[in-house]
């Protein structure tokens, strides 16, 4: 089994392919008709994507976008300087995340996550560190400490986490944010973005087995059952999150470059945090 026709680099396709297995159907007791269906099962998939170019301070990058569903997630890059044994070092990290739900009225919403709190539309920002649930339109978000889970009406679920970084040269401990997809069932094949594009892939059987085919009138069935989402850890060498450089070094020849699917890093930039084009 291997992944084909996906918007992923070759190394990512190989990583995903190792997680795909074919499971024969369980015997069906008579007198029920015999089924020739097989299931392609995928366990939870976790991959690390190391960009070979550090994002620049104030850049806005597309983390996920699904124009057919009207879902857009952008992250703003923040930079600062940290002291080191060999001198000061520049680092960048995601300092702010916005989710734009651009569906037709009255379901249009804007969410913003930054060190000041969690803002939903024009409401007063919710605080980090609490345990609370909040509904907006037909969607919900749940705050649990420094994590927020956003559940959309279409079934998609996202997690935003705030992480405190080491002190910088101004003796401040800034907050960095990560974005992850918990459930991609509500997203379409048009989903894209640096993290979003890992949520779709096409499959092919390398060596079709005659047992997969049936001469009965019911024919052959092939159903797809996969993990709800591909968990993507996005990092780069000068990322503020601890161990980023070591992670990129450990990936070695399997390191995924910023040249995703032949698109330069600039293809994932936007003009503002709420941009949808």
pLDDT value of position 46: 76
Annotated domain spans of the chain: 44-206+232-270
Distance CA 259, CA 266 (A): 10
Whether the model clears a pTM of 0.85, i.e. scores above it, the answer is no
Give the contacts of 72 (CB within 8 A, at least 6 positions apart): 62, 64, 65, 66, 99, 100, 102, 275, 276
pLDDT value of position 31: 38
Could you list the pLDDT tens digit for every one of the 277 residues in the chain? 455 445 565 666 666 666 555 544 444 343 343 344 455 555 567 777 777 678 899 999 999 999 999 999 999 999 999 998 889 999 999 999 999 999 766 668 999 999 999 999 988 899 999 999 999 999 999 999 999 999 999 999 999 999 999 999 999 999 999 999 999 888 988 899 989 988 876 555 454 444 444 433 333 444 445 556 778 888 888 888 877 777 777 765 444 444 444 456 677 899 999 998 7
pLDDT value of position 208: 47
Ramachandran angles phi, psi of 94, nearest 5°: -80, 115
pLDDT value of position 255: 45
**Is omega for the bond preceding 106 within 30 degrees of 0, making it cis?**
yes
């Amino acid at each position: 089994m291997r992944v084909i026709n996906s918007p992923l680099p070759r190394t990512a396709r190989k990583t995903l392919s190792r997680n795909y297995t074919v499971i024969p159907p369980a015997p069906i007791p008579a007198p029920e008709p015999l089924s020739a269906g097989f299931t392609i099962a995928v366990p939870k998939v976790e991959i690390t994507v190391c960009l070979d170019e550090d994002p620049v301070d104030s850049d806005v990058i597309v983390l996920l976008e699904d124009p057919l569903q009207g879902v857009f997630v952008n992250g703003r890059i923040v930079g600062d300087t940290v002291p080191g044994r060999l001198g000061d070092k520049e680092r960048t990290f995601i300092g702010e995340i916005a989710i734009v739900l651009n569906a037709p009225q009255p379901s249009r919403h804007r969410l913003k996550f930054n060190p000041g709190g969690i803002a939903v539309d024009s409401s007063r920002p919710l605080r980090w560190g609490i345990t609370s649930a909040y509904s907006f339109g037909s969607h919900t978000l749940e705050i649990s400490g420094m994590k927020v889970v956003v559940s959309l009406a279409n079934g998609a679920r996202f997690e935003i986490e705030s992480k405190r970084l080491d002190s910088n040269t101004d003796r401040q401990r800034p907050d960095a944010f990560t974005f992850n997809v918990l459930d991609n069932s509500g997203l379409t094949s048009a989903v894209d973005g640096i993290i979003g594009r890992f949520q779709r892939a096409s499959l092919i059987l390398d060596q079709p087995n005659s047992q997969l085919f049936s001469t009965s009138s019911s024919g052959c069935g092939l159903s797809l059952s996969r993990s709800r989402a591909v968990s993507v850890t996005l990092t780069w060498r000068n990322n503020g999150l601890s161990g980023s450089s070591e992670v990129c070094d450990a990936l070695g020849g399997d390191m995924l470059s910023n040249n995703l699917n032949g698109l330069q890093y600039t293809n994932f930039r936007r003009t503002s945090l709420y941009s949808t084009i």
